[in-house]
Amino acid sequence: MTKNTLSLDSLLELIKQRDPHETEFVQAATEILETVIPFAKSHDKYNNIRLFERLIEPERVIQFRVPWVDDDGNERTNRGFRVQYNNALGPYKGGLRFHPSVNLSILKFLSFEQVFKNSLTGLPLGGGKGGSDFNPKGKSNREIKAFCQSFITELYRFIGSETDIPAGDIGVGSIEIGYMFGQYKRMTNTFNGVLTGKAVSSGGSKLRNEATGYGLVYFLEEMLHENNEELDGKKVLVSGSGNVAQFAAQKAMQMGAKVITMSDSDGTIYCEKGLNEEQFDTIIKLKNEQKGRLSELDGEKGLSFINKKPWDMEADIALPCATQNEITEVGAQNLIENGIKYVAEGANMPCTNEAIALFHEANVYHAPGKASNAGGVSVSGLEMAQNAQKQFWDEETVDKKLRQIMKDIHSSCRKYGKDEDYINYLKGANIAGFIRVAEAMISQGQV
Ligand code: NDP
């Protein structure tokens, strides 16, 4: 137990003492608490160390074994997790990540961030996250199906459409969600909205696939409008070439931006004039159908490949859409020197805290993922609503609602983050997200 007074240092000390090896979780907690605690200290209702002791601790952490058999008949074992962080606002909600780097620190950071993100959407959603250290790369379709079925065979007892509703994340798209949904259905003899990100034929929502990337660009549009600017003609660096990156690049191009780069974990593919439709389609085909590497496109159709991240190219806007900590101090410095004005995070925590500090110092507008990538979970929330009402909404209806949610999130960030002529989006998002969760926790007896 900490002392009776609310203090950032003593809370961070408590976190580090309990879980000294959880570096990503410590990073996320520091980033959130540094902005929320000064606010809470100036509001009697929230100036309560006991509230924060509960807020930083997940309600439940589930870890399990995932046995499966590969194509050569070998018995394989992976680790599965689900962190049910906070359900003050609604059932736990957040994606599943399949990637060899997955561990408890990463899932705790993701689920803690998710609590604030889901709060910002204004929807009745608590926060959670899960996944496995299983590496889907290079696996056959049969292996992926076997793994997904085994994973959900263990997890199914802890989730439900009123309890905890997982979705996709890195390495988990509609194919994997489909395999897990099919197995869940067999085991429970129910058909309900226990997972989101399902194919439309299985009860999924229109635009769920596109939602995170599209939502990111809608949020970016609001940031630009704040300064009387438009996306049309702006040079944009996108990192990643998965779900979020693809639809962010597509929507930015539709709005007239010049998307110069996309990347994968080997490096960056670029076209200084901005990708044209043919180049973009080639990238999408390579990634979605051939499961190839971007380096294979070097020299093809006017595309070039370099073996590094996109952050030392000249541009107006950066959209990091790959993974955590992909923009470090060096990347941020390069971006600033090359004239970047806006950074909107498609990935979760893609900028280190040091990189964010540099953006703030240089008055670069920086939108944290919990605000700018909340489009995915928002349409997941809309998928839950459609499933509960046994309805399907058309694309236009979903797109309109998504746009409005991103606009509202931008307004909340502005409300709590505007200082004179600069908006600190991180501060605004953290405080706005905190207030809703704190209010609910207090009214429920801080349980
Ligand atoms: P995908 O698996 O579809 O794509 C991930 C992309 O990031 C790939 O291009 C991958 O390249 C690249 N990548 C992954 N790890 C690394 C790494 N260590 N270094 C460099 N590149 C890497 O995932 P998503 O697009 O779904 O997710 C991307 C980010 O967006 C994540 O941070 C996720 O948490 C976040 N997000 C996703 C949402 C969603 O709806 N899907 C919602 C909100 C946030 P490679 O193929 O080489 O691994």
**Beta carbons within 10 angstroms of residue 75's beta carbon:** 8
- Mean pLDDT taken over the chain: 97
Same domain (yes/no): 328, 348: yes
Same domain (yes/no): 277, 323: yes
From the list 102, 379, 352, 396, the residue with the least C-alpha distance to 213 is: 379
What is the model's pTM? 0.96
Tens-place pLDDT, residues 95-118: 999 999 999 999 999 999 999 999
Give distance in angstroms: CA of 348 to centre of ligand 1: 9
Does the residue 411 lie in any domain? no
pLDDT of residue 1: 59
Does the residue 444 lie in any domain? no
Does the residue 443 lie in any domain? no
Does the residue 318 lie in any domain? yes
Q: What confidence category does residue 152 fall into, taking pLDDT thresholds of 50, 70 and 90?
A: very high
Residue pair 205/228 in contact (Cβ under 8 Å)? The answer is: no
- Which residue in this structure is represented by tokens 């009402």? 389
Domain total of the chain: 3
Does the residue 376 lie in any domain? no
Does the residue 64 lie in any domain? yes
Same domain (yes/no): 279, 346: yes
Annotated catalytic, 129? Answer: yes
HSE (side-chain half, CA atoms, 13 Å) at 109: 25
Tens-place pLDDT, residues 192-249: 999 999 999 999 999 999 999 999 999 999 999 999 999 999 999 999 999 999 999 9
| CB of 244 shorter than 6 A to ligand 1 | yes
Residue 92 predicted with pLDDT over 70: yes
Residue pair 303/270 in contact (Cβ under 8 Å)? The answer is: yes
What is the per-residue DSSP string for 8-21?
HHHHHHHHHHH-TT
Q: What confidence category does residue 447 fall into, taking pLDDT thresholds of 50, 70 and 90?
A: confident
Tokens of 297: 């496109």
- The CATH number covering residue 162 comes to 3.40.50.10860
pLDDT of residue 354: 97
Q: What confidence category does residue 2 fall into, taking pLDDT thresholds of 50, 70 and 90?
A: low
Tens-place pLDDT, residues 40-51: 999 999 999 999
From the list 207, 261, 232, the residue with the least C-alpha distance to 406 is: 207
Atom of ligand 1 nearest to the CA of 350: 32
Tens-place pLDDT, residues 241-294: 999 999 999 999 999 999 999 999 999 999 999 999 999 999 999 999 999 999
From atom 10 of ligand 1, which residue's Cα is the shortest distance away?
264
Same domain (yes/no): 66, 20: no
Same domain (yes/no): 147, 69: yes
Same domain (yes/no): 163, 264: no
| CB of 346 shorter than 6 A to ligand 1 | yes
Tens-place pLDDT, residues 388-431: 999 999 999 999 999 999 999 999 999 999 998 899 999 999 99
Does the residue 126 lie in any domain? yes
Same domain (yes/no): 109, 244: no
Same domain (yes/no): 48, 70: no
Same domain (yes/no): 267, 162: no
| CB of 168 shorter than 6 A to ligand 1 | yes
Residue pair 9/401 in contact (Cβ under 8 Å)? The answer is: no
**Beta carbons within 10 angstroms of residue 73's beta carbon:** 6
Does the residue 17 lie in any domain? yes
**Beta carbons within 10 angstroms of residue 250's beta carbon:** 19
For the chain, percent of residues with pLDDT exceeding 90: 98
Burial class (CB in 10 A: 0-12, 13-18, 19+), 140: exposed
| CB of 383 shorter than 6 A to ligand 1 | no
Cα(229)–Cα(370) distance, rounded to whole angstroms? 23
- The CATH number covering residue 239 comes to 3.40.50.720
Domain that holds residue 79: 60-192
Phi, psi at 437, each rounded to 5° = -65, -45
Cα(387)–Cα(205) distance, rounded to whole angstroms? 9
Same domain (yes/no): 227, 355: yes
Cα(27)–Cα(108) distance, rounded to whole angstroms? 11
Same domain (yes/no): 36, 94: no
Same domain (yes/no): 215, 345: yes
Phi, psi at 316, each rounded to 5° = -90, -30
Q: Who's near 272: CB < 8 A, 6+ residues apart?
A: 260
The active-site residue out of 129, 235, 287, 341 is: 129
